[in-house]
Structure 1
Amino acid sequence: MQAIDRTQRQLIEQLAPITESELIPLETALGRFLAEDVYAEQDVPASDISLFDGYALSAPSACGSSRQVAGVTYAGDAPAVLPEGDFVWRIFTGAPLPDGANAVIAQESVTSSDGRAVILHESMSVGAGVRPKGADSRRGQRVLCAGTRLDAAELGLLASIGCAQILVVRKPRVAIFTTGNELVAPGEPLEPGKIYNSNHIILVSALTRLGVEIVDLGVLPDEASAIRTALLAAAKHVDLVLTSGGVSVGDADLVRQVVSEIGTIESWRVFLKPGKPLAFGRIGSVPFIGLPGNPVSTFVTFFLFVRPALRALAGGDPQIDRPPLNLPLAQDWVAGDRPEFIRVRRERAASGETRLQPFGDQNSGLLSSIAWADGVALIPADRTLMCGDMVDYFPFEGWYL
């Protein structure tokens, strides 16, 4: 069995980033990866602007001085010209400073009897109350690098420099299969010995959240010839073949066996609980990942191994994860002989401290444990932990970045 980090590295090393790109509207680019560096074509802001409602003036200026109001500028107006001498210019938040002004005094810091003149109640220095030209980005400045995943903040930045379209990496195409004669689609009659296929919706949902083009090829029976035909056909059209089930050591676990015959298996066991029977390799030149069949194992190994693989395919950083939180356990825990990701939920103790409460039954077939939990805690192998001991906690919401 291989360690988790070694398996991740070995998997990533066999992946070649997608080189095809496409130009798409900015509003459709959420979750996509930039295919090239992006540079600002103009300064943002395009001129010095006021940080608040007040009066633009030429600094330095002394407290107690009186100034005449020479005009007014609103956000969206073109810059005016401040006359020389003891003048101020009425200005509002986001408006460009008039030529000749270099500071803004807040309207709360002046008094005015008739709106035509003001008395300053504080001294002003050059640059006070001003957002300088180019403070956000300068013309010619690189604002985002190739490989950046575009979320709301990045899209807002691109909009601020005037981008209407953006060049992004083509979405990874992933063929998914679930395997097993026992699987029945939800809504169909459940005959004796059958179970509803939950892994299919887990994979489809997770891949959708991660912005992947899904090639859904349904359920594979426990039959070597059918598995062989389906995998070979799928590998002709996708960037990754992904299966769940059929990679352990049972007589009906045929996926790993078939892939080893038509391609290569680089690894098939990970020093991990849940999720030891994980396989990866190639079908021809196309990467293959075979996830274990138990639904919790499918869920955990997807985010540990498939997610970074997808980022690598899209040209992003596969090791982008935020550092885990370090939080105390809410009960004693005796670890097994493998590192274990246990399902936990943050709960507030009477003392006000946030602690991690494990789900009562950590069986890898219980999807109720995943639905109940808000993350997983990593328990090192061969450790006995006491209530209050600190562990690494990985919240689920971080897994969709």
Structure 2
Amino acid sequence: MGCCDTKGLLSIKDAIQTMLADVSPIKISQNLPIETALGYVLAEDIRSPIDVPPFNNSAMDGYAVRRQDLAECDTLPLAGKAFAGQPFDGEWPEKTCVRIMTGAPVPSGCDAVIMQEKTESTADGIHFLTTKVKAQDNIRPQGDDLRQNEIVFPAGTRLTVRDLPLLASLGIRQVPVFRKPRVAIFSTGDELKPVGEPLKAGEIYDSNRYAIRPMLEKFGCEVIDLGIIPDDQTQLTETFEKAQSLADVVITSGGVSVGEADYTKNILESLGQINFWKIAIKPGKPFAFGKLNHSLFCGLPGNPVSAAVTLYVLVQPMLAKLAGHTQWQAPAQMQAVSKISFKKSPGRADYQRGIFSIENGQLVVDNAGNQSSGAFRAMSAANCFVVLEQERGSVEAGEMVTIEPFNPALY
């Protein structure tokens, strides 16, 4: 396809901007226990209720000392012990040391901890192999990680597995979060059959929902799966009406091309409006976006790779805004040397499936296999998209290309 064949196609950037302009973040919030808050977006700033650590503590197993004592004598009698949860709270005589374990509070007056590897036990006490010690050596000061009332996570942060232990370490039991976006999905087409049923001539399995549903869940959405709907205008209309009554967004797979049995456009015109219909992206040109009376609408192409690519590239940022996920970032892109040639015609940005690696310190990328929009095997094998710019032509081996490693939505 050449440039002359892409007149009227919306660029990816303009398509995303148009979609974002029509989205208002969900403002309904609730308080959830942290054990059920994974994947939710914070509705308010989370501030630390305590200093972390809450007291000066030892970073090593060793001996708490006063540097002045050590400057006068390299062997100090043992005055006691300090363990995590069992601090030394007795009187600490001058020119003595305290055995201390990692995490234990340092005794009052201690200005250094010497690791046990730099000591040896003698009849006269603990002999220190070095007496040149820096102030606060091996001591974690109170509030070194977080200060009381410091913002830990700003509003708009989506909680990850890494975040929950931090909240627990602060004693935070519940967090205010926004309601997750509700997304209703269904596939359209007489040729589609559920997985597990025998196929008749001309039929194929509906594989798209097996990518769409988990991707949406990884985006942080609540998914309402309405199954497979045949190419029947009455059934499709009823399903659209049901979907928009249940969800913030309705996402279909198939039915957005120009075939005689593609009723989606007519239904949308009767139930809402279409903002745009075709995008300068490959695979995935027949992607539709619009509004129903009570929800947003995204129509994904029917080919499995096209559906996954458009959901990932175009719908993901829209859903992030809807969820109130202000900390969301587009997948990172970087430059790599192409190990092989990639076929491409100018006119559409091309998201080919690739496998990147590092060879001799250089980032390189190879073809993941068949690049047909109906062949999902290469998508399964890939770990990145090779993003070929809209007006770029074919790529020869050895040229630099832009790659976009998959983010967690595709793992």
State the number of aligned residues. 400
Calculate percent identity across the aligned residue pairs: 36
Q: Corresponding residue for 1:366?
A: 375
Does residue 113 (structure 1) correspond to residue 122 (structure 2)? The answer is: yes
Report Cα offsets for 1:11-60 as digits up to 9, x if no partner: 12211111122222212222221111111111111100100011112235
Alignment-mate amino acid for residue 368 of structure 1: R
Which AA in structure 1 matches 2:393? Answer: R
Structure-2 change in CA distance of 1:189 and 1:75 (3 Å): same
Give how far 1:195 is off: 0.8
Q: Give the stretch that moved more between structures: 145-154 or 314-323.
A: 314-323
Is the 1:274–1:364 Cα contact (8 Å) retained in structure 2?
yes
Q: Is structure 2 residue 151 aligned with structure 1 residue 142?
A: yes
- Counterpart mapping for 1:288-299 below 5 A: 288-299=297-308
For 1:239-388, list aligned pairs within 5 A. 239-317=248-326, 319-337=328-346, 338-347=348-357, 353-380=362-389, 381-388=391-398
**AA aligned opposite 2:373:** S
Alignment of 1:2-401 (within 5 A): 2-59=10-67, 61-62=70-71, 65-78=74-87, 80=89, 83-114=92-123, 116-317=125-326, 319-337=328-346, 338-347=348-357, 353-380=362-389, 381-399=391-409
Specify every segment of 5 or more residues in structure 1 that has no aligned partner in the other structure, as ranges: none
Pair 31,13 (structure 1): closer, same or farther in 2 beyond 3 Å: same
- Indicate how the Cα distance of structure 1 residues 7 and 63 shifts in structure 2: closer, same or farther if over 3 A, else same: farther
Classify the secondary structure of the residue corresponding to 1:143. strand
187-196 or 328-337, which moves further after superposition? 328-337
Q: Does the 8 Å contact 1:321/1:398 carry over to 2?
A: no
| Deviations 1:314-338 (CA, angstroms, capped at 9, x unpaired) | 1103751342132111112342121
Separation (CA, whole Å) in 1 of partners of 2:147 and 2:225: 45
- Determine the C-alpha separation between the residues in 1 that align with 2:55 and 2:226: 55
Contact 1:308 1:318 in 2 (8 A): no
Q: Secondary structure at the match of 1:111?
A: strand
CA distance in 1, matches of 2:328, 2:345: 27
Which range is displaced more, 75-84 or 236-245?
75-84
Q: Aligned equivalents of 1:54 and 1:184: distance in 2?
A: 68
Once the two structures are overlaid, the 10-residue window that deviates more, 29-38 or 292-301, is 29-38
For the residues of structure 1 that align with 2:62 and 2:327, how far apart are their CA atoms? Answer: 48
Q: Deviations over 1:138-171 (max 9, x none)?
A: 1111111111111122112111111122222112
Q: Closer, same or farther in 2 for the Cα pair 1:99/1:49, shift >3 Å? A: same
Query: Does the 8 Å contact 1:64/1:119 carry over to 2?
Result: no
Higher mean alpha-carbon deviation, 300-309 vs 383-392, is at 383-392
1:34–1:168 contact (8 Å) kept in structure 2: yes
Contact 2:215 2:409 in 1 (8 A): no
